[in-house]
Structure 1
Amino acid sequence: MSSPASTTTDPRLSAHTTLRLGGPAARIVRAEGAAEVVDAVRSADAAGERVLLVGGGSNLVVADAGFDGTAVLLAGRGLSHERRDGTVVLTAEAGEDWDDVVAATVAEGLGGLECLSGIPGRTGATPVQNVGAYGVEIADLLVDVDLYDRRTRTVREHVPAAALGLAYRTSVLKGNDDAIVLRARFALRADGRSAPIRYAELARTLGVEQDSRVDPAVAREAVLALRRGKGMVLDASDHDTWSAGSFFTNPVLAVADAPVVDGLAAWPAGEGRVKLSAAGLIQQAGFGRGHTGPGGRVSLSTRHVLALTHRGGGTTADLLALAREVRDGVADRFRVDLHPEPVLVGCALRPAR
């Protein structure tokens, strides 16, 4: 029988988000493992309360009014390995810090996750968002997940990755609180080499050809250096890291609908489709690094225009006002709609004008 999850006395969700924004929850409980997560959610469901799962809070934008339900903090830890057919399957509990997981695999010479170094948050959120960076995404490595199904009140083990609808920065789990990730399994390389280096900027940094494979530790350090240069590695003293990461996803359009913009990065995205650089669109619409929002309390990062940052003393309303300004500016200039990547809790961007 599991011990009950503990209830915290400080209800502020701003203390649990990387933006350091968001009002109070009606109740916050800390769950130290999968069993405690299930118990906390079942208890909230029985009481008719809404539930918000909070890992590292790195992909949440919470309304200033807060959340009128129970926020469950994922704090369970645990890693294990199993060799299967020349690969190593890593099982990670949902509450594991994601970068700690990556660091542990690299330290053991396992390849695959190194390009996802420095991404804040907990492991349980990575399949939900199909987290990706530097040419690698969770869909490339995920084997399966264990889920708690709130509709049937049962735990579903080994739900295959193919059943999760993994696509660009999304899955069937995103925006749907009926199923909660309890743990995830990843297939890693056991030959001491990284995943193929597909991202051109990373390949240049490493001084290798694209699709080369390198020491995972070398790739990790290069990725961390690139992310630090963009203010994308958490640092409490650096307001450029008070963000939810990239706020907008790169838009994917039919080739016929894509604007022709000199110097704008673009990538093939399937037959007849192209993915455009959201950062490039933002810059060419006239929004530079450090562009400020209401009262200077929020701004685009001084190092990376895709990150909307909190400079201190701000509100979620301030952040959303800046997001709307940028989104509408891009739409006016290029007739391209940008969509937010973070999960918006109790708030929304009003429709584009």
Structure 2
Amino acid sequence: MRPDAGGWHCAPASAETRAFHAELPDYAPTPLTELPALAVELGVGRVFVKDESCRLGLPAFKALGASWAIHRVLAERAADGIQPDPVTFVAATDGNHGRAVARMARRHGQHAHVFVPQGVHPRAVAAIVDEGAKVTEVPAPYDEAVRRAAEAAAAADAVLVQDTALPGHERITEWIVEGYSTLCAEIDEQLAAQGVTEEPALVCVPVGVGSLAQAVITHYRSRGFGPAPALLAVEPEAAACVLASLTRGEAVGVTTGETAMAGLNCGTPSSLAWPYLHGGLDAAVAVPDSAAARAAARLAALGVSSGPCGAAALAGLRLVLTGAGADARRTALGLDTTSVVVLLSTEGTAANPHHLVEDR
């Protein structure tokens, strides 16, 4: 728990991103679904789930960042008069980001080379291949796949499109984070349409390297009206690098283990995201795979398709609001029986073959 985070402020995200996404032929806001049964279970006023199980034709939110970043890269190359030869976009991924990069590269007539770490399910790898990408499997954790992707991009004069910042590539990571801001803008509009006239009391965000959380923090910590929401980061116990970093007060790496929350299996916070995570998160929690599986099953019973990464938001909220010390945590987060809570379900079941095949 971090009681001073609500007073932290930052500059707003670019206003251009939402307009760009709105012009894409397959764009539509993803649903914000109210689940009254969860509100009763959790002792709050209203619970909404932002359902990212189908975003721009893919089963996760990642296409928002990849589409905007690739658009910006190609637009800048055209403005600089660079010959329009096919560009190779390189990325490391646990599944969803790489597939999004491959899809957006193909849409623009470009190439993609995607590096995947150990533990990524063969069906997730096959989905990336089906998008026309070259895939290199790395027999090592995610952080090593990122390093190798960066090396390959440099050696081939290709463009690294990575959602964790690396020296010399921060601007593209910034564009990816900007792309995610469309999700937050949609939530504002959808809450208003459902009669919520103030900021939600709490927003729960699954966290890998922290780029989505950076976008969420930027959205809510750059506004000057009303009380700011509390922001809760949720990670797997097997890869809780943000929790470890907040505990230490500095960005640190952790040794990751196996987890069904493959998209969150990251050992180091993004250097670009870290100042936002450190300044703007009210709380962080790590959850076991079993809690994510139970949360996914509960969401499915309520009509929301959510893989383990997406369901982590509910798993984390349950852990925070129950058990020893729960009353103190509710008070610290400013929650009561009238509070509005938003959960970000960042992927559908189709994005995570582990969930479908092993249910671990």
How does the TM-score come out when normalised to structure 2?
A: 0.28
Using the size of structure 1 for normalisation, the TM-score is 0.28
In terms of Rg, which structure is larger?
1
More helix by share: 2
Quick check: which one's strand share is greater? 1
